[in-house]
Amino acid sequence: MGKDVIIACDFASVDETVKFLDKLTKIRSEVVACDDITISSRPFVKIGMELYYAEGPKIVKMLKDRGHKVFLDLKLHDIPNTVKKSMQVLGEYGVDMVNLHAAGGIEMMKAAKEGLMLGAARLADKPKLIAVTQLTSTDEETMHRELLIDKPLNEVVRQYALNAKEAGLDGVVCSAFEAEDIHKACGDGFVTVCPGIRLVKDGSDDQKRVMTPDEAKAASADYIVVGRPITGAEKPAEAYDEVMKMFRY
């Protein structure tokens, strides 16, 4: 299973993304050659709504053609039939990981899985379907006041993860702070995909609770999602290698 670093490519266009990846892979192939390390020169990348809505499916095709694994972070949430049909389309693209909101319920998640597997029928490596539990932008107070959910946040996250497991999903997006609890509730094979990672604790941008890659590893995160510490680094290839070494070795 997993234990991989996913680079969040939060760029505005294909051009910007290609520019970044060219820089990353060109410099990295030199780093790999001289250091004799076995880190993939085609990193796992995450594409979000902004880039996908701006560029459409061609961004996924371009990344797959270049040999990257792709996490398509579109967070689907609609009635089961609509989500099933949409997931079928995404499955046909050959994405490696895709997600939805657990708040859509177990029936919606089951339909999503069915659709995704139909779409990916020709693929030997099936895509992973991951649920977003509670957005980190929604805190406990907002849940109580606006959404009228009166349970503690960690209980809601755990229940949503259990629902996702019951629906046959592969795992959840969560904070690394929640990864151990989720593994306890849902088993070690249930994947945790964790954003909010920083190489140093004082550079957290807008992330409120952060962990370093080695802390996330110790906290039993299966995948970490890292954006600006790599995409905004002066030397992104070196930053990626550092994150990989801290998380995987």
* Positions in the binding site for ligand C5P (CB under 6 A): 8, 10, 48, 135-136, 173, 195-196, 205, 207, 225-229
Closest by CA to 87, choosing from 169, 186, 159, is 169
CB nearer ligand C5P, residue 82 or residue 207: 207
Min separation Cβ 121 and ligand C5P, Å:
29
CA distance 175 to 152: 16
Strands 4-8 and 128-132: unpaired
Min separation Cβ 159 and ligand C5P, Å:
17
Provide the residue type at 121 as one letter.
Answer: A
For the beta carbon of residue 120, count every other beta carbon within 10 angstroms: 23
Q: Give me the catalytic one of 64, 75, 85, 110.
A: 75
CB nearer ligand C5P, residue 167 or residue 178: 178
CB nearer ligand C5P, residue 41 or residue 138: 138
Min separation Cβ 49 and ligand C5P, Å:
9
CB nearer ligand C5P, residue 120 or residue 169: 169
Q: Which helix (H) or strand (E) holds 53?
A: helix 49-55
For the beta carbon of residue 32, count every other beta carbon within 10 angstroms: 17
Min separation Cβ 33 and ligand C5P, Å:
28
**Ramachandran angles phi, psi of 109, nearest 5°:** -65, -40
- Residue 210 is classified by DSSP as -
Min separation Cβ 136 and ligand C5P, Å:
4
**Residue number of the CB atom closest to ligand C5P:** 227
- Residue 104 is classified by DSSP as G
3-state DSSP assignment of residue 192:
strand
CA distance 186 to 189: 8
Look up 19 and say whether it is catalytic. Answer: no
**Ramachandran angles phi, psi of 100, nearest 5°:** -150, 175
CB nearer ligand C5P, residue 211 or residue 225: 225
Active site residues: 75
